[in-house]
Structure 1
Amino acid sequence: MTTDRGGPLAAARVIAKLPAQDLDRARAFYRDQLGLEPVEERTGGLRYCCAEGEFHVFRSSGAPSGTATQMGFEVDDLDATVAELRRRGVVFETVESRPGFRAAGGVVEVDDNYPSKGTGERGAFFRDSEGNVLGLGQAVRVSAV
């Protein structure tokens, strides 16, 4: 076991992988509701690129757990993004307030964040056509006066 920070995966790119029981249905959801088109295809798989990241949707007989966020999108304006996605037919999850965060109108607010990203975070969650839980997040930053 190495103790340095340069382990064998330190330089690897991270790619999210999402299962789909019906790849055509998933393609339609990502196109029609999220406005995304695959940049590449292979038998049983679709590759999507967004800004600096990418994710793959692949045909699978397995089902997503549906109990936790499987992939997230960081956005600059959560309210505008949620409004546009709702207009496109995306249904957002109802989230109840719990210790550590508040929920109002389907938006979660957390008072903490990774220091390099901000002082808090706002988020919203929805499911794709295959039941994968996807999240949107917007960093909250306090401006210096």
Structure 2
Amino acid sequence: MLKDQQVGAVLPAQDIARARAYYSEKLGLEPENPDANDNLQYRCGNGTGFFIYQTSNAGTAKNTQIGWMVDDVAATVAELRDKGVKFEDYDFPGLKTENGIATMPDGEKAAWFLDSEGNILSLNQGI
């Protein structure tokens, strides 16, 4: 029933104005509902999108909450770093980043960063 339906992510924000500024200035995204005060709706590639709503629970999840599929992780990381985005470094069994980028055993690449609200976001490049 749901397998052919579009899906979108939902992210929390403690400060919706701060989140709006971050997503605009750092990620180059503008909300579809610029006049809203308590939520932000964004559209990305192929009709996908995500929603940000105001809540005091923002930043409490310790897992990746949204990810973008990109053609070149290294180039995208460099572009976002130029805008002030800071990438996470991890060193776990089976996952180690170098210069913010992890290469998975199958050759896929990934990088993670936190938004202004403490949400973990990722960039992913398939093989």
Alignment-derived partner of residue 15 in structure 2: 22
Instruction: Name stretches of at least 5 consecutive residues in structure 1 with no aligned partner.
Output: 1-7, 113-119, 141-145
- Identity over the aligned pairs, expressed in percent? 44
* Deviation by residue 1:51-88 (Cα, 9 ceiling, x = unmatched): 12100111112123341100000000111100010000
Residue of structure 2 in register with 1:116 after alignment? none
8 Å CA contact 2:42–2:51 kept in 1: the answer is yes
Distance, in Å, in 1 between the alignment partners of 2:117 and 2:85 is: 13
Which residue does 2:126 correspond to in 1? 139
TM-score by length of 2: 0.90
2:33 matched to 1:40?
Answer: yes
- Distance in 1 (CA, whole Å) between partners of 2:11 and 2:70 is 20
The match for 2:87 is: 92
Q: CA deviation at 1:20?
A: 0.3
Query: Bigger relative contact order, structure 1 or 2, given CA contacts below 8 A and separation 6+?
Result: 2
Kept in 1: contact 2:90–2:96 (CA 8 A): no
Long gaps (5+) in structure 2:
none
TM-score by structure 1 length?
A: 0.80
- Runs (4 or more) in structure 1 with deviation over 3 Å come to none
Letter in 2 for 1:92: F
Aligned length: 125
